Structure 1
Amino acid sequence: MTDTTVTLTGTGTPLPVPGRAGPGTLVRRGDWAAQVDAGRGTVLRLAELGLGCPDIGLLALTHHHSDHLVGVADLVLTRWVQGGFDPLPVLAPEGPTARFARRLLDGWADDIEIRRRHTGRPAPQGPDVLAFDPPAAPAVVWRSADAEVSAVSVRHEPVEPAVAYRFDTPSGAVVVSGDTRVCAEVEALARGADVLVHEACRGAAVRERGKRFIADYHADTVELGAMAERAGVGTLVLTHLEPAPRTDEDAAAFASEVRRGGYTGRLLVGEDRLTVPAGEPAVQHG
């Protein structure tokens, strides 16, 4: 039995859809937990999973699109309210994403001051921003006793920089794509991974709805299937689903297109709170 798991804390996009929080992925090994991105509703999803914000030992941000970041201040401030007074380590590519993290608490100064004076608790420390230059090829950007984290630049132009992350633990390897087109960079990062959590866009369906600009910088499902097969990924988990599936038939269409691309491994169309133990059967929380 593995002790490395992946949980989708949010599978949505900028448009609100009932039951789908904003983009986010939780990677856990034993008592250690890392959150990748924090879209709307992330703190509530963590609470539903039995986690407090102080339980998060690392936050890794992929890029500066608002749907991936609007829950970050909630995570940091709630961490403080729940008694987490140490700064939260935040991995971020240097540029707009790192600048956002450094300025995170600026707009909350008055709220923080009145809470500090009223409760007597120390003021929160801002995030410990661990900025790195986005690498063109997979490179290690952070290490701990629980995980080695690598990153690579991805193809989400005109949003630059944007990165994907790989978590290598003693009991499994997990890759989270962030937002990107299907690209060789993620393929290299994901080679041999136990679990690849990748955004998915039904390109033809999106273009039919007149949203070509969305399809142009997100991952086409058919191309994704081919890439995941080449990379030898054990389990492919689809998230950031566009257009958002509202029926079982919609979800089946995502899976069908990935299979049409050639992927033969275990395939899961993501729902919020879906948990995937690396190398073990998936579990859907009730």
Structure 2
Amino acid sequence: MIDVTLLGTGGMMPLPGRFLTSLYVRTNGRAVLIDAGEGTQTAIRTASLRFKCIDAILITHYHADHVSGLPGLFLTIGNEGRTEPIHLYGPSGLARVISAFLTIIGELPYDLIFHELPGEETRFECANLSVTAVPADHGMPCFFYHLSLSRPGKFDPARARQNGVPLPLWAQLQKGEAVGGFSPSDVLGPARRGLSLLYATDTRPVDRIALYGKEADLMILEGMFGEEEKKARAIETHHMTMQEAARLAEHAGAKELWLTHYSPATPHPEEFEETIKAVFENTVVSVDGQTKTLQFDS
């Protein structure tokens, strides 16, 4: 399973009662954080989540509302006792941006490992998840992220016997561990449907968002503007309207859509809920602390 917590829902600047958009994703006790604007560590505490288990931070781009919370977050993670490295992923310029932050926080008790992403689709593994970073359309280097958790096939004793696997090795192989010259595929049936989620803010509604979000268990997309008449402004600033986000989720065949990254000029995004649900019924106009556990199919 994957535990998902939307720490904040604001864009541009935090507001009273609304933290900046950031996502905390946890599976098997390890966590990934996507973006960390001002106040993110406060949002993590508010949600009663752990700092020490954050193994990786994925950065969409380097606007302040997505990275300005990193210095304090780094310090707090260290104060919580972490000594293992943290992996940082982001567009070109990552080392320069983070190094600038480090000048004001000094030495950390853990290493930061930089992974500067090229301007193309990039796949990698972190914190028990498979991640794909895909270029967004924000008028500057920016990525959206697809995260997935695979699910192995069921144990097949007939297959194990057919492949000559000794009985004492079955348990380890069933857990996914290679042993005695045998691999888990020697005892497992076909892989089952896993879990996936997609996170995209600060972008125009490009087709590849729907492509990578195909049949996702959860899509989290920005809804910067609720009024469709502000579409021209969305185009100018390389953002999305709520309606555009809903159409992407509909096109992708996603199970559920969470809207986030609301403009400060939209204090009550829930006012647009009825309009958005007319486009994609299973839409949630998210609030800070929105949480969900994605479960494997039975």
| TM-score bracket, shorter-length normalisation | 0.7 to 0.9
- 1:278 maps to 294
* Structure 1 residue ranges without an equivalent (≥5): 113-122, 281-286
Match in the other structure for 2:208 = 185
- Answering whether residue 161 of structure 2 is matched by residue 164 of structure 1, we say no
Aligned counterpart, 1:116:
none
Matched, 1:106 2:122: no
Residue of structure 2 aligned with 1:176, choices 178, 199, 202: 199
| Displacement of 1:30 | 2.7
SS in 1 for 2:274: helix
Task: Give the C-alpha shift of residue 174 in structure 1.
Answer: 1.1
Counterpart Cα distance in 2 of 1:214 and 1:203: 14
Rate the CA distance shift 1:14–1:144 in 2: closer, same or farther, 3 A: closer
* AA matched with 2:96: R
1:7-50 deviations in Å (ceiling 9; x for gaps): 11111122331111112011111311110001122112212233
CA root-mean-square deviation? 2.4
Shift of 1:82: 1.6
* Contact 2:15/2:264 (<8 A) preserved: no
d(CA) in 1 for partners of 2:81, 2:34:
22
* Aligned match of 1:56: 54
1-structure distance, mates of 2:275, 2:80: 43
The TM-score normalised by the length of structure 1 is: 0.80
Conserved 8 A contact 2:36-2:67: yes
- Aligned runs of 1:206-225 on 2, under 5 Å? 207=230, 212=233, 216-225=237-246
Q: 1:169 to 1:271 in 2, by over 3 A?
A: same
- Secondary structure at 2:7's aligned position in 1? strand
Aligned mates of 1:203, 1:48 — CA distance in 2: 27
Tell me the equivalent position of 2:277.
Answer: 259
Structure with bigger gyration radius: 2
* Match runs of 1:118-267 below 5 Å: 123-135=108-120, 138-140=121-123, 142-144=124-126, 146-157=128-139, 160-170=140-150, 171-202=194-225, 204=227, 207=230, 212=233, 216-243=237-264, 245-247=266-268, 250-253=269-272, 255-260=273-278, 262-264=279-281, 266-267=282-283
8 Å CA contact retained: 2:87, 2:112:
yes
Secondary structure in structure 1 of the residue aligned to 2:52: helix
| Identity of matched residues, % | 27
3-state SS in 1 of match to 2:97: helix
Q: Identify the residue that residue 120 of structure 1 maps to in structure 2.
A: none
Q: Which runs of 4+ in 1 moved over 6 A?
A: none
Structure-2 separation of matches of 1:225 and 1:48:
29
CA distance in 2, matches of 1:145, 1:45: 21
Mapped to 1, the partners of 2:234 and 2:247 lie a distance apart of 22
For the residues of structure 2 that align with 1:244 and 1:235, how far apart are their CA atoms? 25
Structure 2: gaps spanning 5 or more residues:
151-193
How far off its partner does 1:200 sit? Answer: 0.6
